[in-house]
Structures are given as structure tokens and as C-alpha cells.
Amino acid sequence: MVGGGQLARMTHEAGIPLGIRFKLLSDTPQDSAAQVVSEVVIGDYRDQDTLRAFARGCDVITFDHEHVPVEHLRALEADGIPVRPGPEALLHAHDKGVMRARLSELGVPCPRHRIVADPEDAAAFAEEVGGFPVILKTVRGGYDGKGVWFVRTPADAVEPFRAGVPVLAEEKVDFTRELAANIVRSPHGQAVAYPVVESRQVDGVCDTVIAPAPGLDEELAGQAQHLALTIAAELGVVGHLAVELFETTDGRILVNELAMRPHNSGHWTQDGSMTSQFANHVRAVLDLPLGDPRPRAPWTVMCNVLGGDYPDMYPAYLHCMARDPQLKIHMYGKDVKPGRKVGHVNTYGDDLADVLERARHAADYLRGTITE
């Protein structure tokens, strides 16, 4: 696996029971996954020789993130190493312009959008969709709200062009909430769909995920799963695909973003589903039959744990574990910095209000927002 973040850490955890020998390419030995994996190569994935040397002897390569240049992936394939998901699929996760063009071609409902050349063109786009505000995004390099601008005036439209990366303009969608449709697809074409979840963001960062999305119209849920399965099949995705969606005020769903790897909106599956997204991602990239994605409890809630003012979270464990013996804590081994994602918690049960309260309380307590 390329990349030493928490997704690699949790993928390794899920691979242990399958008897997988897991090899990691990590930036530093302190990276989240590098702390827990036996076979770690420290190196820069942006360097093609490093990447090719790392991949030698691997049965298959997969990824913790979407930043590996496509030409490097093609070089691995030329070396005879299966890359999953492959470069042709990952192109769409690398470049939001390519993604939007392809999805539109497939008839997948998206916010209205087009590439804009400069601030004036952005203003023209705003006119086309009924006026400001609009969303501007650099087509590459954004995540967790970075590389995305909420543009209210022509003056706001200057900043996004500074990086020299093409800029995609999208209409500001009137939505009631965000959803995510997560599926896993294997090379031989088997696919499983997890229940569609509600994803609540705070400051552009995923904060809470509720599985399944409360009160979601069954037909809309089925439509969302179908969309995700179609996208995966058409783009040739192998492994986990997260399709982030808007549920609009007029009852439609529109695709917001794609992620071709395990995803924050699927962390609930570790404790809430029969087979976690990480286990199914491993099974998919190894072309093993996929596991049952169904939930094990009526409700599961995930809350991200962000770093707060206290560098040592250990004392907070005592409170959280004693208060809620069913709480599932997942920490990433990261140094605590204010606002940094350092872990998440999962709770499950029959009563959504209770399940939500328990996850919220634990996440806030671990962060230090509340001390009770």
C-alpha cells in the first residue's frame, strides 16, 4: 500500500485476519500506518524509481491516497504489477474536471459546472446559473475543504486562480444534507453496496456519519447505490469507491465528489457492518469474493476525533471507556494538533438519539471540548 496515513493503518488491521503480508511505502517512520506495520519502506511516492523498487515483489499495489501521479501508475503496470484501482480509474479521482466531464457523459446527475478560464469567466458562469454564490475548485490537489472556495462576489474569484491549476466552477446547490454511497468492486466485477449514509460536515471537514441516513426515501437510497455501482463499473474502479452526494431541497441527488479508496464516510463499517470497508477493499484488490456489507445494528454513528489543546488523549480514555463500555475508539497514532483528525469513534444500537449522543460526547471529550 502506498501512503502511511490512517487509511493504510486500518487496512493493515483488516488484512491481518486474512493472513495478508502487508508492505507499506511511507513518507516517514512516524506515519500512522508505519507505526503498526512490519514491512515498511520509507520513501517518496512521487519518485518513480522509489515507487517501482517498492512495488517489486508485490502481488498487487493499492493506495492510502490519490496523489500518486498517473504516469507512475502506468510505469508500475508496465512492470507487470497490478495496480488497483488502476490509472484509468484514478484519473477521475485525480482531476475533478475529468471526473465531471465523464460523469456528465454517463448521464450521472451533477451540479451544473464548467471549467472557467479566469475571474471574469467565473462571473460569466455565475450569470449562467442564476448568479453568485458559486463554488470554485482547483481540479487537482484539494481535500477536506482545501482547494475549494465559496465565491460570493467577482472579487472572491481571484484567489482560486493563483495556484496556476485549472479551475472548475460549480453551481451552489440548495441541499438539505450530504449523503455518501459507498460500494466495493472487485476486478472480476462483483460489487457490494453499503447502506447510504448521512455525512455531516463542519468547516468542510467530515464530522459525523449516520448509517443508514435517517429518513432517507427508499427509492432515493436505491438510486444512490445504483449510481455508485454504475460509476464504479463505467470507470473501472477496483476497491472501495465513495460517492459523496447532495440531497437537494427538491428531492434529487447530485454527485459532489468521488474517492477511490477507503473513505471517512465508511469508517462506521468497522463496528457497524458485517464486513468493514477496509476488509472489503483488501478482498477486492486481491480479487477475493467480497464480504456481506449489511449493517449489524439498526443505527451506527461515527464521529471524527479532532485534536484539541491537550496533546495526551490517554487520560480522556479513562472517562470515555468507563462512561460507555460499548464505545469503539479508533486512534491513528498521530501527534495531536488543534483541528487535526487524530481518530474517530463508533457507536451502535437501537435508538438513534442515544447512539448519536454517545458518539458526540466521546468525540468532544477526547478533543477536550467538554470535560463534563
- Tell me the binding residues: 96, 137, 170-173, 178, 256-257
**Interaction between residue 34 and a second copy (CB under 8 A):** yes
C-alpha span between 198 and 228 (Å, rounded): 15
Closest CA to 63 of 36, 108, 39, 33: 33
In angstroms, the CA 364 to CA 358 distance is 10
Kindly report the number of other CB atoms within 10 A of residue 64's CB atom: 26
Helix H or strand E encompassing 191: strand 191-193
Nearer to a second copy, 4 or 119 (CB): 4
130: left (phi over 0), alpha (psi -120 to 50) or beta: left
Site for a second copy in 311-370 (CB under 8 A): 313, 317-318, 321-322, 325-333, 343
Rounded to 5°, angle at Cα 35 from 50 and 73? 30
290 binds a second copy (CB under 8 A): yes
In the block, residue with C-alpha cell 484488490: 285
- Smaller CB separation from a second copy, 21 or 162: 21
Between 219 and 372, whose beta carbon lies closer to a second copy? Answer: 372
Our finding on whether 292 is near a second copy (CB under 8 A) is yes
Shortest distance, position 325 Cβ to a second copy, whole Å: 4
Count the residues of the shown chain that bind a second copy, applying the rule CB under 8 A. Answer: 42
User: Per the annotation, where are the binding residues for ATP?
Assistant: 96, 137, 170-173, 178, 256-257
Nearer to a second copy among residue 164 and residue 315 (C-beta):
315
- Closest to 347 (Cα-Cα) out of 246, 289, 249, 267: 267
Residue 335's Cβ-count burial label (10 Å; 0-12, 13-18, 19+) is: exposed
Q: Which C-beta is closer to a second copy: that of 39 or that of 250?
A: 39
Site string for a second copy, 181-210 (x = CB under 8 A): -----------x------------------
Contact footprint for a second copy (CB under 8 A): 9-10, 12-13, 16-19, 21-22, 34-38, 40, 192, 270, 274-275, 283, 288-292, 296, 313, 317-318, 321-322, 325-333, 343
